Amino acid sequence: MYSDHTKSFEQRVADLISRLTLPEKVSQLIFINKAIPRLGIPEYVWCNECLHGVARAGNATVFPQAIALGATFDTDLIFKLATAISDEARAKYNISKKHGGTKIFHGLTFFSPNINIFRDPRWGRGQETFGEDPCLTAKIGTAFVKGLQGNHKKYLKAAACAKHFAVHSGPEKLRHEFDAKIPEKDLFETYLPAFKALVDAGVAGIMGAYNRLNGMPCCAHPRLLLEIARTKWKFKGYITTDGWAVRDFHTGHGVTKNPVESAALAVNNGCDLIINGLVEDLMAAVREGLLNEQRIDKALYWLFMIRFRLGMFDPPEKDPYKALGENVINCKKHRQLAKQAALKSIVLLKNKDNILPLDKNISSICVVGPNATNTDILLGSYYGVSSRMVTLLEGIAGKVSKNTTIQFYQGSLLNQANPNPVNWVKGFIEGSDVVIAAMGLSPLLEGEFGEAIGAKNFGDRAGIGLPKNQIEFIKDISEVGKPVILLISGGSPVAIPEIHDVVAAIVYIWYPGEEGGNAVADILFGDAVPSGRLPVTVPRSVADLPVFNNYAMRGRTYRYMKKPPLYPFGFGLSYTRFSYSALTISESPVKIGRKVKVTVNVANRGERVAEEVVQLYISKLNAPLEVPLYELKDFKRVTLKPKQEKQVAFTITPAMLEYVDNSGVRILEPGDFLITIGGVSPGSWQKELGAARTVQKKLNVSALKK
């Protein structure tokens, strides 16, 4: 029956499992599934990545890093981007099959997206996330999953996996032994909502985190995996460990004595797949009575359901994606999409006297800095490779007039003082009209445990500023008196209070992907208007942050941070000016449990067509306990012509008015709520940054339902 494609997947999976011997069953619980020729089951490797493009599988479109995708605040764009990724994934899978089998990293089960909350800017893997906010993360993550998995009524195009369930954001050095102690309120208010949203969106997989949560390893956490995901949320996909997470049970966390106990604990407590697990350990667990065949069958059910839904056991003619081939890989359409994503992610943080955009016919430019020709800063982490990467210098050179003089001098190393102390660059700057300084971070300085080889903290950052030598270099060249345009690359907040007032303009470019150089040049020279918004808060210094390994949210992110930021969540300037007016609420007071429509007028007061990210925030006033200062609840991108005004509408649902109590329960109560709509998160700092573009109004919710 399992080979009869007219039967339901449920029937076929049950039949196939019934035909397997115990050793054959166990062989399918580790990430390299051995072939079972007698039943026509091919070998399959589950380990694949596509965080911002198909990774580790050869030539592919390299889209901007995940944190940059968060900065777009554009769910439609992310859906298109993820659709392109799944096209390339299917193409690589099809090509691999034609050559005799599916190689590692050429499969269809992807360990993406990473929807952990970027709670602390020191975390090296924060670049893999969509930012610090649960709402933004949920919406961008949902769009990514839907684009990746496709909308076929029967088959998945690719299988997404939400990771790392449920809390994982450093310290990287301690991730194999660390216990994240989290209050129930923070767990259900901050760390779980995005995972719940992706489960509701039909995500195919969930990956557990390395660390413990309140005493129990996340990859063997019965409350997380069985009670919350399986029972409460009705999750219908597979659950996998992270790589080597099971080994950590006995080597780092000390909750088991040996690999056999660890393997049994993971499977019994909800994990269906063990990355880097050993068949021998699982078989020993069965022999010792620690693991029974019934639980193995349950795990196999979810694993085989994914493979059947991917069409791996159906005849080729039934495959709706069989036509996808090498012509879609890094094709022109996908490169254009990569550039569009980079354009919408770039955040303009300062533009003194409207120095930007620059004139393409400018007489002379001096480009300096360690990242001007650095391909690493296009890639970020978990990347594919492209045959056509456009560096910042190449993008600038390709944009200006042929009569423009361009000089390039690196001038500064990435994160250490120059052994040669003579700064010859200053002499060349004197003859230039403007200096473009390509500074910032790189994947050498921030990233995953073991990968950021220039980071002393195993991928994390000790501070949140630029390297000291870069700060000194910027100050030094600024003494010449020429305007400096500062380009900052990176995947995390970079605090630059020492040089904010020194430079003329600041542009945060993230890790912008293969078209990064062209996208940055479009922004610098006015072929595009900056519209990216910060998906993270940039504190003034690390002194404004709680201790790194404290997972409680008090004092963290725009939702709980009371100290004024250097740059706030949701912030980003434009080449035009937007204004907000006429905030209306359809009814107030409104009876509890009813939806409310709110509208606001948004106007473009400038001379350029531009996009504004309209953000809706809600604050619970006079709450009986500490609640977020503000919470993003929805957002919309709006395109406005010069002098055009549009009315933008949002629907406030009862769920948006709930708060989470100290036991983790969501509460909807009558009372007053502050509704804020604008182009940035609320706060008293707005006038200081020239960003006062929000309007507010109270909403009263009465006690009686209609």
CATH at 636: 2.60.40.10
Catalytic residue annotation: 242
Instruction: Tell me the pLDDT tens digit for each residue of 169-201.
Output: 999 999 999 999 999 999 999 999 999 999 999
- Quick one: average pLDDT of 135-163? 98
Residues 613 and 556 in one domain: no
Q: Which residue has the tokens 């940035």?
A: 680
Beta-strand relationship, 610-620 and 671-678: antiparallel
Residues 542 and 594 in one domain: no
- Which pLDDT score, from 0 to 100, does residue 687 have? 63
Closest CA to 685 of 694, 672, 675, 674: 694
Indicate whether 319 belongs to any domain: no
**Domain boundary pick from 560, 589, 607:** 560
Closest CA to 508 of 70, 154, 24: 70
What residue ranges in 277-421 does DSSP mark as E strands?
347-351, 364-368, 405-409
**Domain boundary pick from 525, 560, 595:** 560
Give the dihedral of Cα atoms 71, 72, 75, 81; nearest 10 deg. Answer: -110
**Element at 184 (helix H, strand E):** helix 184-186
Whether the bond between 171 and the residue before it is cis, its omega within 30 degrees of 0, is yes
Residues 582 and 503 in one domain: no
CATH number of the domain to which 432 belongs: 3.40.50.1700
Residue pair 634/595 in contact (Cβ under 8 Å)? The answer is: no
CA distances from 32 to 42, 274, 510, 688 (A): 11, 10, 35, 56
Give the dihedral of Cα atoms 130, 136, 141, 142; nearest 10 deg. Answer: -170
- Which pLDDT score, from 0 to 100, does residue 705 have? 64
Q: How far apart are CA 449 and CA 452, in angstroms?
A: 7
Tell me the two tokens of residue 364: 């002379």
pLDDT at 691 over 60: no
Beta-strand relationship, 596-604 and 645-652: antiparallel
Instruction: Name the average pLDDT for the chain.
Output: 96
Between 29-33, 99-103, 377-381, the lowest mean confidence (pLDDT) is in 99-103
Residues 443 and 590 in one domain: no
**Domain boundary pick from 533, 560, 587:** 560
Residue pair 54/116 in contact (Cβ under 8 Å)? The answer is: no
- Quick one: average pLDDT of 125-136? 98
Residues 545 and 582 in one domain: no
- Which pLDDT score, from 0 to 100, does residue 186 have? 98
- Quick one: average pLDDT of 641-668? 98
- Quick one: average pLDDT of 670-682? 96
Residues 519 and 642 in one domain: no
Cα 624 from chain centroid (whole Å)? 33
Q: How far apart are CA 369 and CA 91, in angstroms?
A: 38
Residues 550 and 598 in one domain: no
- Which pLDDT score, from 0 to 100, does residue 685 have? 67
| Residues of the domain holding 630 | 578-702
- Quick one: average pLDDT of 112-118? 98
- Which pLDDT score, from 0 to 100, does residue 277 have? 87
Indicate whether 216 belongs to any domain: no
- Which pLDDT score, from 0 to 100, does residue 703 have? 87
Query: In the structure, how many helices (H) and strands (E) does the chain have?
Result: 19, 24
- Which pLDDT score, from 0 to 100, does residue 375 have? 97
- Which pLDDT score, from 0 to 100, does residue 686 have? 65
- Quick one: average pLDDT of 227-252? 98
What residue ranges in 494-608 does DSSP mark as E strands?
505-510, 578-585, 590-591, 596-604
Indicate whether 157 belongs to any domain: no
Indicate whether 146 belongs to any domain: no
Domain count for the chain, please give it.
2
CA distances from 128 to 207, 288, 381, 511 (A): 15, 40, 7, 11
- Which pLDDT score, from 0 to 100, does residue 690 have? 55
Contacts of 345 (CB under 8 A, 6+ apart): 64, 68, 69, 71, 72, 510, 512, 532
Q: How far apart are CA 419 and CA 576, in angstroms?
A: 43
Give the dihedral of Cα atoms 212, 216, 220, 224; nearest 10 deg. Answer: -90
Place 692 in a pLDDT band, splitting at 50, 70 and 90. low
DSSP string, 41-77: B--EE--BB-BTB-BSSSB---PPPHHHHHHTT-HHH
- Quick one: average pLDDT of 673-700? 84
Indicate whether 131 belongs to any domain: no
Residues 595 and 686 in one domain: yes
- What is the DSSP-derived secondary structure letter of residue 106? -
Place 243 in a pLDDT band, splitting at 50, 70 and 90. very high
**For the chain, what is the radius of gyration of the CA atoms?**
26
Closest CA to 89 of 297, 334, 365, 388: 334
Tell me the two tokens of residue 124: 């090296």
Tell me the two tokens of residue 368: 């300096």
- Which pLDDT score, from 0 to 100, does residue 683 have? 83
Cα 444 from chain centroid (whole Å)? 19
Q: How far apart are CA 183 and CA 177, in angstroms?
A: 19
- Which pLDDT score, from 0 to 100, does residue 44 have? 96
Closest CA to 309 of 209, 159, 196, 510: 159
pLDDT at 684 over 80: no
Tell me the two tokens of residue 399: 């944009």
- Quick one: average pLDDT of 356-380? 98
Residues 440 and 411 in one domain: yes
Residue pair 170/122 in contact (Cβ under 8 Å)? The answer is: yes
With a pLDDT cut of 90, the percent of the chain lying above it is 96
Residues 385 and 519 in one domain: yes
Indicate whether 238 belongs to any domain: no
With a pLDDT cut of 70, the percent of the chain lying above it is 98
- What is the DSSP-derived secondary structure letter of residue 274? B
- Which pLDDT score, from 0 to 100, does residue 422 have? 86
Between 42-51, 287-296, 552-561, 682-691, the lowest mean confidence (pLDDT) is in 682-691
Q: Which amino acid is it at 84? A: A
Tell me the two tokens of residue 270: 């909800």
- Which pLDDT score, from 0 to 100, does residue 704 have? 72
Residues 501 and 642 in one domain: no
Residues 363 and 421 in one domain: yes
Instruction: Tell me the pLDDT tens digit for each residue of 383-415.
Output: 999 999 999 999 999 999 999 999 999 999 999
Indicate whether 309 belongs to any domain: no
- Provide the angle, in degrees to the nearest 10, between the axes of the packed helices 293-309 and 9-18: 140
pLDDT at 27 over 90: yes
Contacts of 600 (CB under 8 A, 6+ apart): 580, 581, 582, 583, 584, 614, 647, 648, 677, 695
The CB density around residue 287, as the number of other CB atoms within 10 Å, is: 10
- Which pLDDT score, from 0 to 100, does residue 424 have? 86
Tell me the two tokens of residue 673: 């709520």
Closest CA to 88 of 36, 49, 43: 49
Whether the bond between 589 and the residue before it is cis, its omega within 30 degrees of 0, is yes
Indicate whether 38 belongs to any domain: no
Could you write out the three-class secondary structure of 564-593?
A: CCCECCCCCECCCCEEEEEEEECCCCEECC
